[in-house]
Amino acid sequence: MSVLIFTENWDGKFKKLSFELVSYGAKVAEMLGTSAVAVSIGNVADDELTKLGKYGAKKIIKLEDELFNIFDNKSYSAAIAEIAQKEEAQVIIIANNNMGKAIAPRISVKLKAAIGSCVSKLPLSTEPFVVYKKVYSGNAFAHVELKTDVKIITLAQNSFDLIESSNEATIEQASVDVNESMVQTKIKDVDKQTGKLLLTDAEIVVAGGRGMKSPDNWTPIFELAELLGGATACSRPVSDEGWRPHEEHTGQTGKIIAPNLYIAIGISGATQHLAGVSSSKCIVAINNDKDAPIFEAAQYGIVGDAAKVLPKLVDAVKEVKSK
Amino acid sequence: MKILVCISNVPDTTTKIKFTDNNTKFDSTGVQWVINPWDELALTRALELKDDASTGVKSVTVGHVGTASADPTIRKALAIGADDAIRVNIEPTDAYQVAAQLAEVVKAEQFDIILCGIESSDFNGSTVGSMVAEFLDYPSVSAVSGLNIEDGEPVITREIDGGKEIVNVPAPFVAVVQKGVALEPRIASMRGIMQARTKAIKVMEPVDVDVLTEVVTFEPPQPKPECVFVEEDNPEKLIELLQNEAKVI
Ligand SMILES: Cc1cc2nc3c(=O)[nH]c(=O)nc-3n(C[C@H](O)[C@H](O)[C@H](O)COP(=O)(O)OP(=O)(O)OC[C@H]3O[C@@H](n4cnc5c(N)ncnc54)[C@H](O)[C@@H]3O)c2cc1C
Ligand SMILES: Nc1ncnc2c1ncn2[C@@H]1O[C@H](COP(=O)(O)O)[C@@H](O)[C@H]1O
């Protein structure tokens, strides 16, 4: 028996998300009285793999075949399903991100394993096995019973704190029964920005809405994000107007993020916007309308004109950072 | 080439979410039902492809798993321009069950491209589309923000961390789409609404499939504590709170 955790890598490195998954998986394993096994697909150096052990993985299975250099939904899900069977996994844990959403449902059908998606807490009970998940785009949560012997959980990003331990993991090389003919995805072109902090990875996000009035007023938002080591975002009308690129738009139809700190400036706080950011640990709102709905979601607020408040806020952050 | 667009019937995004029966059932009183926003974009893109003769797309069908109560939403899709619709007559309660029914629809009618949305705005599953692909053993591409057909070949844009990839898979395939696949949802014209009245909604009886999950109870979100206001000329105070109270910077 085991709890199997699929840990995606990014050019051979893991991210905080990978460690969240392992920390979570180790806890679930503890609840079930079994041990956590991590699976890594692609080329990752052993000293990087070892890091997964620090968060509670007892064993790390690596699969390095170059067949997996192309991310193909079928081959990845077949490989993970096969390893899950070999390891007699009772629970399979996968990130609720682009890659996770592409493969977890396929594994679910392959193994006839019930799936709890976008889960944000430890299982509420193991018998019956009940998970806690977001529904209605964040306007409610559901307790969902997974009724099969094998279960799959996709874990929402930033919903579980890292737990370090003194555990050391063993590393094992695996091979699976997946061949070339299964990989049907052909990559024609890649357009990747490198070196930039991704909105979905950022712990701090500074976002501007229509209340910023013009794209020319964005400088203090960039400054604030830079000073805080965060990323910038915007509301949908801002990206629709072309003030900011579409990748930055958060909300129900844009990116769904859960940073530690979300600073919303000149954003009214429409339900569709909040659907993308309401899982943030702390929301700060700056808005000149004291009745703006964003203040209902915010922990801290400043009522005032963004054009006046922002420069002062930037100065104050500079002051603190220079100390 | 035939396209199937799978549509989910969801409460309008401005709906106040409430529950009844001791928080076990969604309270649908007064709720307006709409096509799930991503499915609307998928439908729009399918129709754009059909409008362009060079793509070889001949028909766009919408598929839905649900009871007759969803027919007005299906009619809306027909009014926007879908040629016909297939509804599998069963109350949808579980992604596995829904996907298995949709796979039967595909087997019966042989589509080349199956479009699903990245998630339904009510259950937020993000699972049905890729499940359909696995039931059929078709290739699938997820996080699709662009779909074209050039020289009879699908040209698919998928979002990856920090960028995009242009990929190709052989048809038949499932594409799980998100924003970007079409810019604005197409709206029904008067003529479309008239025509929709005569278009067919074919009803299929469900196959027998196990249900793997069950909602035990719903929970409204925890009420948030009141917002703490800081004077506009005292941003230092805000920073102090963020550092020492919230501990986020
Ligand atoms: C199906 C659907 C999906 C949608 N998806 C999304 C989504 O994913 N993301 C999204 O963001 N929106 C989405 N929307 C749009 C959403 O409903 C709102 O229209 C949008 O979020 C509003 O953006 P905003 O807050 O920037 O602008 P506004 O609503 O115009 O608000 C501007 C705010 O700025 C304040 N303000 C004005 N001047 C100043 C000043 N000088 N200083 C400080 N504050 C000032 C105002 O008081 C106001 O609160 C969606 C809508 C629909 C129907
Ligand atoms: N009852 C349904 N009938 C038809 N398609 C559905 C149904 N439920 C979900 N889908 C499709 O699956 C996608 C993802 O739904 P979900 O997995 O529930 O988040 C939706 O965007 C639809 O394309």
- A52 occurs within a structural domain: yes
Structural domain count, chain B: 1
- B231 occurs within a structural domain: no
Q: What's the rounded Cα separation, in Å, for the pair A177 and A162?
A: 34
- A172 occurs within a structural domain: yes
At A273, give phi and psi (nearest 5°).
Answer: -75, -45
Element at B238 (helix H, strand E):
helix B235-240
Q: Which of A104, A189, A299 sits opposite B165 (nearest CB)?
A: A189
B123: left (phi over 0), alpha (psi -120 to 50) or beta: alpha
Inter-chain residue contact B236 with A316, CB threshold 8 Å: yes
Whether A144 and A41 map to the same domain: the answer is yes
Residue among A28, A6, A57, A29 nearest A124 (CA): A28
DSSP code per residue over B58-101: -EEEEEEES-GGGHHHHHHHHHHT-SEEEEE-S----HHHHHHH
Q: Is B37 in the pocket of ligand 2 (CB under 6 A)?
A: no
Give the CATH number for residue A75: 3.40.50.620
Whether A20 and A133 map to the same domain: the answer is yes
Across chain A, mean pLDDT equals: 95
pLDDT at B46: 98
A10-16 long-range Cβ contacts below 8 angstroms, 24+ apart: A10/B161, A12/A42, A12/A43, A12/A44, A12/A45, A12/A48, A13/A44, A13/A48, A14/A44, A14/A48, A14/A51, A14/A52, A15/A201, A16/A162, A16/A201
Whether A244 and A274 map to the same domain: the answer is yes
- A141 occurs within a structural domain: yes
Write the pLDDT tens digit of every residue in A112-130.
Answer: 999 999 999 999 999 999 9
Mean pLDDT of A19-41: 98
Whether A165 and A16 map to the same domain: the answer is yes
Q: What is the pLDDT along chain B (249 residues), one digit of tens a residue?
A: 999 999 999 999 888 899 999 999 999 999 999 999 999 999 999 999 999 999 999 999 999 999 999 999 999 999 999 999 999 999 999 999 999 999 999 999 999 999 999 999 999 999 999 999 999 999 999 999 999 999 999 999 999 877 899 999 999 999 999 988 998 899 999 999 999 999 989 999 999 999 999 999 999 877 888 999 999 999 999 999 999 999 998
State CA A261 to chain mean position distance.
Answer: 15
Residue whose CB lies within 8 A of the most ligand 2 atoms, among B26, B36, B176, for a mutation test: B36
Whether A156 and A276 map to the same domain: the answer is no
- B48 occurs within a structural domain: yes
Question: What's the CA-to-centroid distance between A284 and ligand 1, angstroms?
Answer: 15
Position A56, amino acid? G
Q: Is B101 in the pocket of ligand 2 (CB under 6 A)?
A: no
- A218 occurs within a structural domain: yes
Whether A21 and A151 map to the same domain: the answer is yes
Give the CATH number for residue B137: 3.40.50.620
Closest atom of ligand 2 to B38 CA is 21
Whether A256 and A299 map to the same domain: the answer is yes
Closest atom of ligand 2 to B129 CA is 12
Note down the domain range covering B51: 2-220
Q: Which of A74, A105, A315 sits opposite B131 (nearest CB)?
A: A105
Ligand nearest to the CA of B184: 1
- A131 occurs within a structural domain: yes
Specify which residues B11 forms β-bridges with. B33
Q: What's the rounded Cα separation, in Å, for the pair A183 and B244?
A: 51
Which of A114, A148, A182 finishes a domain? A182
Whether A163 and A232 map to the same domain: the answer is no
pLDDT at B26: 94
Inter-chain residue contact B118 with A261, CB threshold 8 Å: no
Write the pLDDT tens digit of every residue in B65-82.
Answer: 999 999 999 999 999 999
Structural domain count, chain A: 2
Give the CATH number for residue A312: 3.40.50.1220
Whether A171 and A216 map to the same domain: the answer is no
pLDDT exceeds cutoff 90 at A190: yes
Cα separation values, A45 from A51, A94, B20, Å? 10, 21, 53
Whether A78 and A7 map to the same domain: the answer is yes
Give the dihedral sign, CA A39/A40/A46/A51: negative
Question: What's the CA-to-centroid distance between B65 and ligand 2, angstroms?
Answer: 8
Q: Which of B167, B176, B214 sits opposite A187 (nearest CB)?
A: B167
Reported as a pLDDT band with limits 50, 70 and 90, residue A252 is confident
Position A309, amino acid? V
- A191 occurs within a structural domain: no
The pTM score is 0.91
Cα separation values, A261 from A280, B82, B116, Å? 6, 43, 33
Q: Does B17 touch chain A (CB under 8 A)?
A: yes
Burial of A219 (C-beta count, 10 Å sphere; 0-12/13-18/19+):
exposed
Other residues' Cβ atoms within 10 Å of the Cβ of residue A266: 27
- A194 occurs within a structural domain: no
| Structure tokens that stand for B170 in this block | 């052989």
Q: Does B141 touch chain A (CB under 8 A)?
A: yes
- B25 occurs within a structural domain: yes
- B172 occurs within a structural domain: yes
Residue nearest to atom 7 of ligand 2 (CA): B8
Inter-chain residue contact B160 with A118, CB threshold 8 Å: no
pLDDT at B13: 83
Whether A84 and A169 map to the same domain: the answer is yes
Task: Work out whether strand B113-117 and strand B173-177 pair parallel, antiparallel, or are unpaired.
Answer: parallel
At A152, give phi and psi (nearest 5°).
Answer: -120, 135
pLDDT at A318: 94
Element at A29 (helix H, strand E):
helix A16-32
Q: pLDDT exceeding 90 applies to what percent of chain A?
A: 89
Specify which residues A61 forms β-bridges with. A39, A172
Reported as a pLDDT band with limits 50, 70 and 90, residue A323 is confident
Which of A182, A213, A241 finishes a domain? A182
Cα separation values, A266 from A21, A72, A303, Å? 35, 41, 10
Test mutation, A302, A313, A321, chain B, max B CBs within 10 A:
A302
- A189 occurs within a structural domain: no
Note down the domain range covering A238: 204-322
Whether A39 and A167 map to the same domain: the answer is yes
User: Any alpha helices (H) in B3-63, and if so which ranges?
Assistant: 37-51
Q: pLDDT exceeding 70 applies to what percent of chain B?
A: 100
Q: Identify whether the C-beta of residue B167 lies closer than 8 Å to the C-beta of residue B141.
A: yes
Reported as a pLDDT band with limits 50, 70 and 90, residue A44 is very high
